[in-house]
Copies of this chain bind each other. A is one copy, B any other.
Amino acid sequence: MNAEIISIGDELLIGQVINTNQAFIAEKLNSIGISVGRMTTVGDDESDILQSFAEALATHDLVLVTGGLGPTHDDITRTAVCKFFGTDLVVNEEALERVKGFFEKRGLLPKKINEDQALVPRSCTVIQNHHGTAPGFLFERHGHHLMAMPGVPFEMKAMMEGFVLPFFAHKASGLVIQHRTLKTTGIGESFLAEQIGDVSTLFGPDDGVTLAFLPGPTGTRLRITVRAKSAEDARKKSQLVEQRLRSKVGKYVYGIDEEELEQVVGKLLQERRLTLSVAESCTGGLIADRITNVSGSSNYFERSYVTYSNESKIADLGIPSALILHHGAVSGEVAEAMAACARMKSNTDIGLSTTGIAGPMGGSKEKSVGLVWIGYSDRGGTLALRFNFGDDRRRTKERAAQAALELLRRKLLKIEL
């Protein structure tokens, strides 16, 4: 069973609103084995809406429509579905009671345009809206379905969970689709692809498995998609592919699905009862910000010295001014000293540091924009690694923070750097 999602609304076409409904609906449909073949967005224009309905129903088993069911003049989905399915509007008593109750609860009287929300197409199945006044409409034609829902995200979500998913899960073919995403960092997309090699060694052409590379600024996600007869089958196939991937590039995999690197290292620090302090120059507080996004981080995170100026490196961390003078603030020597001093001054188990040239100014022939040194220090020793993260200031900060947290993860797990 396949589906198309149609979003209706001028606010989408002028870019005023980012469409989050489509991703939500797509994910939910996938979870019940319905794959989405296309997503379309059209404006509040009747002929565009009718054309999109015709195209979608011709090629998809299920068409989910959101938006344009509200009470104002620019909401025309209701009249459009009537035209499309050759029907007219009648009052739905249950919907009318709901509209009245909705306003009564708020101490208000409904206006005519609100009561008109209870007008529904004669030939459809009406799906009541438990969070607003616009009901949903389900049509069937030649075994294909079109379902119109409100565009307000929480009203749509409630209708998806309460009606659409259970109803169509039952109808869907039976194939289960599962996704699992391995998040990698510290290796470029093409190098990752090379180390993974021919994907046909991971799964056969008829296994119902696909692997997608999703590169981002701080790492590449590897998404395994599995189609199988049962959830158990899908899980087993997915596990096997994950195992094979991990045997090739496991060292770069820091997390699964939505897991963030700061959560992963937070958990490791907590388990090992280790404490951390940070000394940040070019990342300017971003590492501390990420670490403290994790609830409970006060258990292992002590402090960060955002020592942007040389004076603060000297005064707050105790870096010898001669070291900065001799090697420059952006150097492996200073990165090491920052990590070691942060650790000792705060009396923590681990110190982490960054110093670099975020740009766009401040580069030189020897030290180009994007050069970053990352330092690490624990009782066993101190080291610094050299990187270049390119010429975009924010990007460099993000990549440097990611690389610092990844260095910490590898040290905690004793993975080679």
Q: Which residues of A contact B (CB under 8 A)?
A: 10-20, 22-30, 35-44, 48, 52, 55, 70-74, 105-108, 110-111, 113-114, 131, 152, 154, 177, 179, 181, 188-191, 193-194, 199, 210, 212-217, 223, 225, 278, 280, 283-289, 291-293, 295-298, 301-309, 311-312, 315-316, 345-347, 358-361, 368, 370, 388, 390, 392-395, 397
Residues of B within 8 A of A154 (CB): 217, 392, 395
Residues of B within 8 A of A114 (CB): 190
Smallest CB–CB gap between A95 and chain B, Å?
Answer: 15
* A304/B306 in contact, CB under 8 A: yes
* A23/B17 in contact, CB under 8 A: yes
Residues of B within 8 A of A194 (CB): 111, 113
Question: Could you write out 16 A-B pairs with CB less than 8 Å apart?
Answer: A13-B26, A14-B177, A16-B179, A17-B23, A40-B41, A71-B189, A71-B190, A105-B390, A111-B191, A113-B194, A152-B215, A295-B358, A295-B359, A304-B304, A311-B346, A315-B345
* B295/A303 in contact, CB under 8 A: no
A129 to B379, CA, bound (A): 45
Smallest CB–CB gap between A59 and chain B, Å?
Answer: 9
Q: With A38-B48, A41-B22, A293-B284 in contact, do A223 and B11 touch (Cβ < 8 Å)?
A: yes
Instruction: Identify which of B18, B27, B29, B388 contacts A20 (C-beta below 8 A).
Output: B18
Q: In the complex, what residue of chain B is closest to A43 when comparing beta carbons?
A: B37
* B43/A41 in contact, CB under 8 A: no
Residues of B within 8 A of A215 (CB): 70, 152
Instruction: Identify which of B179, B223, B361, B393 contacts A293 (C-beta below 8 A).
Output: B393
Q: In the complex, what residue of chain B is closest to A302 when comparing beta carbons?
A: B309
| Copy count, this protein chain | 2
* A40/B38 in contact, CB under 8 A: yes
- The 3 A-B pairs with the shortest beta carbon distances in the complex, nearest first, are A284-B292, A15-B27, A285-B288
Residues of B within 8 A of A212 (CB): 10-11, 16, 44, 74
Residues of B within 8 A of A177 (CB): 14
Residues of B within 8 A of A190 (CB): 71-72, 110-111, 113-114
Smallest CB–CB gap between A312 and chain B, Å?
Answer: 4
Residues of B within 8 A of A280 (CB): 285, 288
Q: With A288-B285, A311-B302 in contact, do A19 and B23 touch (Cβ < 8 Å)?
A: yes
* A19/B16 in contact, CB under 8 A: no
* A305/B308 in contact, CB under 8 A: no
Smallest CB–CB gap between A231 and chain B, Å?
Answer: 17
* A42/B48 in contact, CB under 8 A: no
* A26/B15 in contact, CB under 8 A: yes
For the A-B complex with A19-B19, A280-B285 known, give 16 more contacts whose Cβ atoms are closer than 8 Å: A11-B223, A12-B22, A15-B28, A15-B36, A16-B214, A18-B19, A39-B39, A71-B189, A111-B191, A154-B392, A284-B288, A285-B285, A289-B289, A293-B394, A295-B360, A312-B346
Residues of B within 8 A of A388 (CB): 105-107
* B309/A298 in contact, CB under 8 A: yes
Residues of B within 8 A of A52 (CB): 38
A61 to B229, CA, bound (A): 45
A262 to B394, CA, bound (A): 13
* A70/B16 in contact, CB under 8 A: no
* A213/B72 in contact, CB under 8 A: yes
Residues of B within 8 A of A35 (CB): 13-14
* B40/A27 in contact, CB under 8 A: no
Q: In the complex, what residue of chain B is closest to A191 when comparing beta carbons?
A: B111
Residues of B within 8 A of A19 (CB): 18-19, 22-23, 39
Q: With A302-B311, A306-B304 in contact, do A358 and B12 touch (Cβ < 8 Å)?
A: no
Smallest CB–CB gap between A287 and chain B, Å?
Answer: 7
* B303/A309 in contact, CB under 8 A: yes
Residues of B within 8 A of A39 (CB): 12-13, 19, 39-41
